[in-house]
Amino acid sequence: MKYCPKCNDTWSSDLNFCPFDGSVLSTGQQGTVALYDPRIGLLLDGRYRVLTPAGNDIFSEHYTATHVTLGKKYRVKFLRSSLLESSRYRSIFLDLARVRSRFNHPGIEKTVDYGIIENRLPYIITEYVEGQTLTDFLKTRTLTLSAAKDLFLKILDIMEYVHSEGYLIQNIHPSNIQIVSSVGSDPQPVFGDVGMIRTNIMNPRGKISFIGIPEFLPPEIITGSEPSKENDFYQAGLLAYYLLSGKTPVYGKNLDDALMMDKRRQLASSLPETATPEIKSLIRQLLEVNPEKRLCDFEKIRNILSPPKPRKSIPYIFYILPVVFAVTLISGFIIFRKKDTKHITQAPEKPPTMPTVIIKPEVTSTKEPLTRTDFVVKIETIPTEATIQTPDNKYISPAVIHVKPGTQLKIKIVMKNYQDKEIILLPSSDEKLIIHLKPEEKTPGRKVTHEKPAMKPSKGNTDELIDPFKKN
């Protein structure tokens, strides 16, 4: 840890200047050491017991805490003591807590609660991340080019998520990123703070629109521009530089020196030697001094770091073979079906259900010859109960009707749900009775019966179907 000899605040060891007053941070013995910390032992909201100090960031001092009922470990962030007197800072600090509570991403420390004590000491409670800062992580190892790319891509994913929610990180630097490592898994970056407290502070070169680490401030912020998404891409470029070299890319003997624009312009010519030409070009585009020319496209950055693998060219024959096979298979199936259908005897269509009319001569006695002056005809219908109408009478099937020689008798058969059937009985001079069935007419809404040929009984007892219009 380092401390500021002017304001006596402590800071992360990767900082060179105090973000508040610009003083060069010291690594020696802190001038004033508090013997008693009144925050230790506080019970927040009746649930969270404050335990021990756990570092700090630019705007807050961190402590560990435990849930008195669940026993779960949490992190408590109090607004820095040097900012407590400002009601504006207290209000902004709680506003940031509300914003951070909306984020739901494994790469962002989850805010679970926030509040204020006696309207003076605001605090934020987050899940406790078991890890180490990126600064400490790189002190014990040097990342390979592949590991640095993987870690940067994960940080890029977090950055894209925050932008999709309509916010900016504005605080991309090594001390704000925790690296969570576990056996058998790749290191996972987790941001502690997302979103900066905007303010106006004075430095030797003018006003800065928000407090931040001088070495990681974008050039447009130094010149007084408003925060924008281009700021995050510039800081991402500085972080890529840091991942490859393990060093802060911008140095200076004092705050004024560190904020000089020439320092930013020189970055493009001092890229890490371990980087490939493609990655050097990417960092150069991210560190573009003019934000309008800066590379600010997540997809393009990913394609540079992990270009899509080219598709292997497939010989032309492999495209043709499946088509030929499919055509052959379908053609064979069609030919087989044609041959097979030749041996299938098509069943005749079943005629529609219709009433059946049976007409035969009526014999009064088997001993008497079949000669008579009147023709006696018995008419039956299937199904029965049809109405048989003559010009003089009406019968219910079956019916026995007498027909005189030399006359004709028109009979109408009426059956429910069927078209009416008309029969004409024509006695001939040769003792034969010609029975003529009138062709039926199709009537809309009624069933059409099947046409039958005329019936002509012989002199015996057996009925015959004879076409009276056919020449013998």
Measured CA to CA, the distance from residue 400 to residue 378 in angstroms comes to 4
Q: What is the pLDDT of residue 206?
A: 41
Calculate the alpha carbon distances from 49 to 5, 59, 72, 435 in Å: 32, 21, 11, 115
- Are 169 and 194 contacting, i.e. CB atoms less than 8 angstroms apart? yes
* pLDDT tens readout for residues 123-141: 999 999 988 889 889 888 8
State the residue for tokens 């009276």. 468
Measured CA to CA, the distance from residue 437 to residue 439 in angstroms comes to 6
Measured CA to CA, the distance from residue 79 to residue 57 in angstroms comes to 10
* DSSP summary character for residue 295: -
What's 307-331 look like in SS3?
CCCCCCCCCHHHHHHHHHHHHHHHH
Give the pair of three-digit tokens for residue 96. 């940031």
Residues of the chain with pLDDT under 50: 197-209, 345, 347, 350-355, 360-372, 442-443, 445-472
Q: Which amino acid appears at position 121 of this protein?
A: L
What the chain holds in terms of domains, given with CATH numbers, is 37-127 (3.30.200.20), 134-305 (1.10.510.10), 374-472 (no CATH)
Q: What is the pLDDT of residue 156?
A: 95
- Are 293 and 164 contacting, i.e. CB atoms less than 8 angstroms apart? no
Q: Measured in Å, how far apart are the chain's first and last C-alpha atoms?
A: 130
What's 28-81 look like in SS3?
CCCCCCCCCCCCCCCEECCCEEEEEEEEECCCEEEEEEEECCCCCEEEEEEECH
* pLDDT tens readout for residues 110-125: 999 999 998 889 999 9
Give the other-Cβ count within 10 Å of 53's Cβ: 14
Q: What is the pLDDT of residue 193?
A: 83
Please tell me whether residue 442 adopts helix, strand or coil conformation.
coil
Strands 132-133 and 188-191: unpaired
Phi, psi (rounded to 5 degrees) for 235: -65, -30
* DSSP summary character for residue 235: H
- Are 377 and 358 contacting, i.e. CB atoms less than 8 angstroms apart? no
Calculate the alpha carbon distances from 58 to 97, 155, 185 in Å: 15, 20, 30
User: Of 266, 270, 294, 290, whose CA–CA distance to 282 is shortest?
Assistant: 294
Measured CA to CA, the distance from residue 156 to residue 158 in angstroms comes to 5
- What's the chain's length in residues? 472
pTM for the model: 0.59
Beta strand ranges found along 141-264 (DSSP E): 177-180, 188-191, 198-203, 206-210
Give the pair of three-digit tokens for residue 321. 């073979």
Measured CA to CA, the distance from residue 56 to residue 4 in angstroms comes to 14
Q: What is the pLDDT of residue 265?
A: 60
Please tell me whether residue 222 adopts helix, strand or coil conformation.
helix
